[in-house]
Amino acid sequence: MATFTRDWSEAAPAGTDAASVGDDEIRYLKVEVSDRLKALVYGFIAGENDGVPGCKNLAFKVREDNPTVATSTIVLYSKDVSDEAHLYMKDESNDVRQVSKAAGLLNIIAGDYAADSIDEDDIQLANNAPLEAKNAAGDDVLKLIKADASDDIILGDSTKGHDVRLSDATATGDNDLHLADKKYVDDNSTMVPAVTGAGTGYAGEESVTLPNGLIIKSGYIAYSASTTTVTFGTAFSAVISAQAATKASTGNYDVPLIKTLNTTTLEIYDDQTPAGYYWIAIGW
């Protein structure tokens, strides 16, 4: 960067200088001032005369220390971070915060600056600190999104009554504002009936529990005597109904009867000798 045309001197002109050099000193002062301001402010270069004041840019020279800040004042300044100039802010409470990152964009000025930041790749907020926006009227703030202390994702503003919680283990069926991700649904869904394997006393039992608690047990059992007993693998709390159908051997078939039915067993009566019975029992 080029040096200034003239070095700044508060000793010139000297009181002993001739009055005839006064016009020269005035021109020198204009050069000294414009050299320092023309890169920052419009109007210090010939032709910049549209009457509209404005800044061109603000250049913060790197300093080694943090400045002293007066009451009701915030100071922006530049410091080196790994040999690269970055913007800092210091407030009247002497809180010093780095504002810019390597990408050159500004952080969100709130809370924990290590977490509350924005660059060209992502936005990071401190835990349990929401991203906010002004409402349409400009007289209130709306919370948009945050990650709470339980690492649940909260969309919306609970203070306004319209928050949506994602992956909430405490979500209840009477709150239709709660959403759950696929894993939560997979882990907690009761829409897929529970199925258990074979019971005792016969082969091939299948027990299915429906979402409303209704239990359906079914299976096949070979004929053993005029009364063939099915022992349920898991007892019902209450049994409602049962049916049995014959698997006939040639010439040996009849309509079997349900002799007894309780929470633990089903007795099938038959005066013929079929190969066996397909049965079903329903209860709770």
Q: Is the domain of 205 the same as that of 183?
A: no
pLDDT value at residue 260 = 94
The Cα–Cα gap between 207 and 239 comes to 13
- For residue 79, give the DSSP letter: E
Alpha helices in 141-268 (DSSP H): 182-188
pLDDT in tens, 148-161: 888 888 888 877 77
Smallest CA-to-CA distance from 44 within 14, 5, 95 is with 5
pTM over 0.75: no
Question: Which residues constitute the domain of residue 3?
Answer: 1-58
pLDDT value at residue 173 = 44
The Cα–Cα gap between 113 and 100 comes to 10
pLDDT in tens, 55-90: 888 888 898 888 999 999 999 999 988 888 888 889
Residues in contact with 17: Cβ distance below 8 Å, sequence separation at least 6, in sequence order:
25
**Which three-class secondary structure state does DSSP give residue 28?**
helix
Q: Is the domain of 143 the same as that of 158?
A: yes
Residue 69 in any domain: the answer is: no
Q: Give every residue of the chain whose pLDDT is below 50, as ranges.
A: 107-115, 120, 171-177, 197-203
Q: Is the domain of 200 the same as that of 277?
A: yes
pLDDT value at residue 9 = 85
pLDDT value at residue 257 = 93
The Cα–Cα gap between 106 and 88 comes to 10
Residue 152 in any domain: the answer is: yes
pLDDT value at residue 112 = 42
Q: Is the domain of 243 the same as that of 226?
A: yes
The Cα–Cα gap between 267 and 278 comes to 13
Residue 6 in any domain: the answer is: yes
Answer positive or negative: Cα dihedral of 62, 64, 70, 76: positive
pLDDT value at residue 48 = 86
Q: Is the domain of 221 the same as that of 279?
A: yes
Alpha helices in 130-259 (DSSP H): 182-188
Q: Is the domain of 49 the same as that of 84?
A: no
Residue 65 in any domain: the answer is: no
Q: Is the domain of 79 the same as that of 104?
A: yes
Residue 198 in any domain: the answer is: yes
pLDDT value at residue 202 = 40
Domain total for the chain? 4
DSSP 223-249: --SSEEEEE-SS--SSEEEEEEEEEPB
Residue type, 242: A
